[in-house]
Amino acid sequence: MRSLKTLLYMGVTHGAFTFYLPYRLASIDRLLFQTGIFHYLAIPASLLGALIIVQSSVEIVRNGFGTPAHFDAPKKLIVVGLYHYVRNPIYLGALFVVLGDILWFGSRMAFLYFLLYILGFHLLIVLIEEPILRRTFGSEYEEYCKSVPRWIPRMMK
């Protein structure tokens, strides 16, 4: 059941805000720059982002015993898989997808959306998600925050 809820939630939220909306904005506005050789980096960036989103969602279902949805959050703190390297891999994956749109279309609208997406994610994390995680998981989450960065993945430990 968690898998189905995750599929529905991620399909609606990331389907709309990570895939459809930035693609539509970018496809109607190609004025920021000519992408040239960077055009070919769009597909790997978008694929990497999609794989990060899927893998992180699977980790939440399998190891967190919940879903990525705020209303059915994980019951256990996830510190394995991609969560071992960065605290917010789903959001990072979403940024790679939107970066793919920027590289493909050279769109100023996609670039603006990307900047607003970063700001929105950061505010959501700092103002809503992290306080909830601190209340839910206490010192375990505090230790996790000390050893795993919020945005830039650590490469080794």
pLDDT in tens, the chain (157 residues): 878 877 777 788 878 888 888 888 888 876 666 667 778 899 999 999 999 999 999 999 999 888 888 888 889 999 999 999 999 999 999 999 999 988 888 888 889 999 999 999 999 999 999 999 999 999 999 999 999 999 998 876 5
Report if pTM > 0.95: no
| CB-based burial, 28-61: b 16+ in 10 Å, e otherwise | ebbebeebeeeeeebeebbebbbebbeebbebbb
pLDDT at 104: 86
For residue 86, the model assigns a pLDDT of 96
Position 34 scores a pLDDT of 67
Any idea where the domains of the chain sit in the sequence?
2-147
Residues ≥6 apart with Cβ < 8 Å to 107: 25, 26, 27, 29, 30, 31, 32, 101
Per-residue model confidence (pLDDT) at position 52: 96
